[in-house]
Chains A and B, each alone.
Chain A
Amino acid sequence: ETGVTQTPRHLVMGMTNKKSLKCEQHLGHNAMYWYKQSAKKPLELMFVYSLEERVENNSVPSRFSPECPNSSHLFLHLHTLQPEDSALYLCASSQGIDTYNEQFFGPGTRLTVL
């Protein structure tokens, strides 16, 4: 595997379910990100991790819970979601959190909340 991978690619869940999104980067980067991409809205930054420490939480509801066990893996744990949470969730990584570092994106997980 190369680059940034995300699993699953598609997920359908009910509002009472608990699920997790997984992201793995094979680039040796130190920073990882979660973004939400909704129709007709700009990409929204959700969380930023640097060296496994959360450095930014962009006013995200607590029903989204990130986890970064090591610099290669990032999870987004989901519980009691709402239909408006349906979106494409993109993971990215970069060498460091300074924005001159190119961010490399995974293909995303298409989430549908029923």
Chain B
Amino acid sequence: AQSVTQPDIHITVSEGASLELRCNYSYGATPYLFWYVQSPGQGLQLLLKYFSGDTLVQGIKGFEAEFKRSQSSFNLRKPSVHWSDAAEYFCAVPNQAGTALIFGKGTTLSVSS
């Protein structure tokens, strides 16, 4: 069955430092993969998505993610974190019916000055 694991519940990064958030998936075929961000008091916003082709995907707000089939991973990266990046980040894959998304439990990012 399709599933998503985000191993890190909470990460703290210094402002200006690089960031990597981990996502591992279980999926029967080549997956669609998504990263969403949720700022406090807000709904979720799509950061980037992978469907096929180039395994390095660029998203909004300077984020990128790399699909690695051999590791069943789709880790999110940003070279230099800003205080406004503090939020909760969710990785997602489609459900078996392809009608909706299955989300991971999320990783909360704190940014220290």
Contacts and interface: CB of A to CB of B under 8 A. Distances in A.
Interface of A: 4, 33, 40-43, 45, 48, 50, 55-56, 90, 92, 97-100, 102-108
Contacts of A55: 99
A43 B43 contact: no
Q: What 7 A-B pairs come out closest when comparing CB atoms?
A: A105-B43, A99-B94, A43-B103, A105-B44, A45-B100, A97-B99, A42-B103
Contacts of A97: 98-100
The majority secondary structure among interface residues of chain A is loop
Contacts, number: 59
Band of interface residues on B: 20 to 34
A50 B106 CA distance: 27
The majority secondary structure among interface residues of chain B is loop
Contact of A45 (B43, B51, B95): B95
29 contacts: A42-B102, A42-B103, A43-B44, A43-B90, A43-B101, A45-B95, A45-B100, A48-B99, A48-B100, A55-B99, A56-B97, A56-B99, A56-B100, A92-B43, A99-B32, A99-B94, A99-B95, A99-B98, A100-B32, A100-B49, A100-B51, A102-B46, A102-B49, A103-B46, A104-B43, A105-B43, A106-B43, A107-B41, A107-B43
